[in-house]
Amino acid sequence: MKIIIVTTCLIILPCLIKCEDKSFLKIPNNLKIGAATSAYQIEGGWNTSDKGQSNWDDFTHSKSHLILDGSNGDIACDSFNKYKEDVQLLKNVGFNHYRLSINWARILPTGFANKISKEGIQYYKNVIDELHSQGIEPFVTLFHWDIPNVIAKMGGWTNELIVDYFTDYARVVFRELGPKVKVWITLNEPNVDCSEAYDKETHAPGLNMPGIGSYMCGHNMLKAHARVYRMYQEEFKKTQNGILGISISSSYWFSKNKNEPESGDIAFQNGCGWFLNPIFSKDGDYPPIMRKRIDENSKLEGHPKSRLPVFSPEWIEYIKGTFDYFGVNHYSSRYTENVPYNNITGWYDDTGIIESVNQSWPRGASSWLYVVPEGIGELLRKIKNDYNNPPIYILENGYSNYGNETNINDINRIDYLYSYMKEMLVAINRDGCNVKAYTVWSVLDNFEWSKGYTERFGIYHVDFNHENRTRTPRLSVAWLTEVIRSKQLISFDEFKAKFM
Ligand code: GBH
């Protein structure tokens, strides 16, 4: 008797766990699976017809020493000419949506709305029509780090007038392309771009003004986002009925020490709350902890005013609630520890947090890309709990290989996507997180900003040495195609056993 019970348990128990797991691994019917790119990273055609110069054209041409391989996006994947083929590649995988971005200077050659480029508009119309003809839904980003160089030269995002210029540009885009687009992203990763462009020198224009430029930039980006959101509601919502959001780059931060359980959230508030709190919280404005620490640090440094600008009550109200969904780009996680506060020097930086990693975490080719799948589950639950269970659009998630290898058999990428999608599906199916879309970065290998072509995120390999920019599917294409077709997440081993 005993033996029978024990053996039945041994057989049934693991099955119960596994079977339960399997039901978590079902992809819900209403979860859209797609892939993303951005204009400067794939288009090329940098000086076709009447296109204006962008800040990235200027940056890569005049400061090529800041790009790891000295390269640029002049041709990139040549998607300006090869967009039909690219849409076919998306179709082959069975993606529901494609996230692309618009190059502001391509449609407004002077930077301003006094002149609209017919060719520029036509290009994006062609791409969007091609997507629709293949049953793929466009998600369109208005700003993915490239702005007209004339505006960049006048201070870019540190000049408050950009709020008006960005709104004028957005109005042209909505008018021309809006009838065929239902999902908009105003700004891609403002938290990353503000820091990299103005505090550091990794994004155009590379100002290197730590602790000053990024906060000016963020202040104006928040205003610009809100203005565009509200302008759409007033002028286009009735006729076009799209949804708008912003995509914030969010790592997950694990408090390293039990006696400092708040350190992870402090890092989150400084890294993401910077943009999330003003838009998504009940009270609006910057996170109180961020305000407090930057004010204190500024004072100790002898600044007459805080380096973090102040919103008027009107702006706080105006920015609050300007979202239809919660957009998030997620790749990796960190540990956090508090740095002791010193009332003479403050903190060595405004967060008062030091980040570290677990050396046993697997890594991608990007120095920052540690593989920590549990982080995405924690992040989704945090968003659900802290921001009142909003609809979540995951707008980027992906893995990099080294550019000097072809890596057609990208098993590491499959493992990464599998483990992250698994955590996401558990957060949806078990914990009730309201995730509406999951988007792989990226369809194609592309110009990886200051890393040039040395890091490759594509599920399709691109041969940048060949004038055809030949695209070749990696193994992850076959795996993803099967996952999307069957609506069931399977590991690489299961895939191999069945299909290889
Ligand atoms: C995205 O940014 C971009 O939107 C996309 O254009 C780009 O190609 C893609 O990622 C791949 O890089 O973990 O503390 O060391 C992601 C930008 C870069 C932001 C690394 C966080 C590391 C911070 N991320 N950065 S940390």
Task: Say what the pLDDT of residue 20 is.
Answer: 52
Distance CA 223, CA 221 (A): 5
Q: Do the domain assignments include residue 260?
A: yes
Three-class SS of residue 5? helix
Alpha helices in 326-474 (DSSP H): 374-386, 411-429
Average pLDDT over every residue of 381-390: 98
- Environment class of residue 29 by beta-carbon count within 10 Å: exposed (0-12), middle (13-18) or buried (19+)? exposed
Q: Which of 41, 67, 331 to mutate to test the pocket of ligand 1 (most atoms within 8 A of CB)?
A: 331
Q: Integer distance in angstroms from the first to the last C-alpha of the chain?
A: 43
Token output for 300:
């100790």
Token output for 246:
């912003």
The larger pLDDT score, comparing residue 366 to residue 208, is at: 366
Task: Say what the pLDDT of residue 17 is.
Answer: 47
Q: Is the peptide bond before 205 cis (omega within 30 degrees of 0)?
A: yes
189 in contact with ligand 1, CB cutoff 6 A: yes
Task: Say what the pLDDT of residue 21 is.
Answer: 66
Mean pLDDT, the chain, whole residue set: 95
Asked whether residue 18 carries a pLDDT value surpassing 60, the answer given is no
Q: Do the domain assignments include residue 41?
A: yes
Token output for 243:
């949804």
Q: pLDDT > 70: what percent of the chain?
A: 96
Among protein residues, the one whose CA lies closest to atom 7 of ligand 1:
448
Kindly report, residue by residue over 27-75, the tens digit of the pLDDT.
999 999 999 999 999 999 999 999 999 999 999 999 999 999 999 999 9
- Give the strand pairing for 333-338 and 353-356: antiparallel
Instruction: Kindly give the number of the ligand 1 atom that is closest to the alpha carbon of 366.
Output: 12
Task: Say what the pLDDT of residue 348 is.
Answer: 83
Ligand 1 centroid to Cα of residue 119, in Å, is 31
Distance CA 471, CA 443 (A): 10
Q: Do the domain assignments include residue 368?
A: yes
Distance CA 77, CA 463 (A): 9
Task: Say what the pLDDT of residue 3 is.
Answer: 52
Domain residue limits at 361: 22-499
Q: Which residues contact 166 (CB under 8 A, 6 or more apart)?
A: 142, 143, 224, 227, 228
Q: Do the domain assignments include residue 14?
A: no
Task: Say what the pLDDT of residue 344 is.
Answer: 87
The CATH number of residue 472's host domain is 3.20.20.80
Chain position carrying tokens 């004038």: 467
Token output for 43:
């288009």
Q: Which helix (H) or strand (E) holds 186?
A: strand 183-188
Neighbours of 14 (CB within 10 A): 10
Q: How far is CA 96 from the centre of its chain?
A: 18
Asked whether residue 148 carries a pLDDT value surpassing 60, the answer given is yes
Q: Do the domain assignments include residue 79?
A: yes
Q: Do the domain assignments include residue 357?
A: yes
Q: Do the domain assignments include residue 379?
A: yes
Chain position carrying tokens 């078990």: 430
Distance CA 234, CA 322 (A): 13
Domains in the chain, number: 1
192 in contact with ligand 1, CB cutoff 6 A: yes
- Give the strand pairing for 460-462 and 471-473: antiparallel
Q: Do the domain assignments include residue 395?
A: yes
pTM as predicted: 0.95
Kindly report, residue by residue over 435-486, the tens digit of the pLDDT.
999 999 999 999 999 999 999 999 999 999 999 999 999 999 999 999 999 9
Neighbours of 209 (CB within 10 A): 15
Average pLDDT over every residue of 361-372: 98
Kindly report, residue by residue over 475-499, the tens digit of the pLDDT.
999 999 999 999 999 999 999 999 9
Average pLDDT over every residue of 254-281: 98
pLDDT bracket for residue 16 (50, 70, 90): very low
Task: Say what the pLDDT of residue 6 is.
Answer: 47
Q: Which of 368, 395, 447, 455 to mutate to test the pocket of ligand 1 (most atoms within 8 A of CB)?
A: 368
Distance CA 477, CA 94 (A): 10
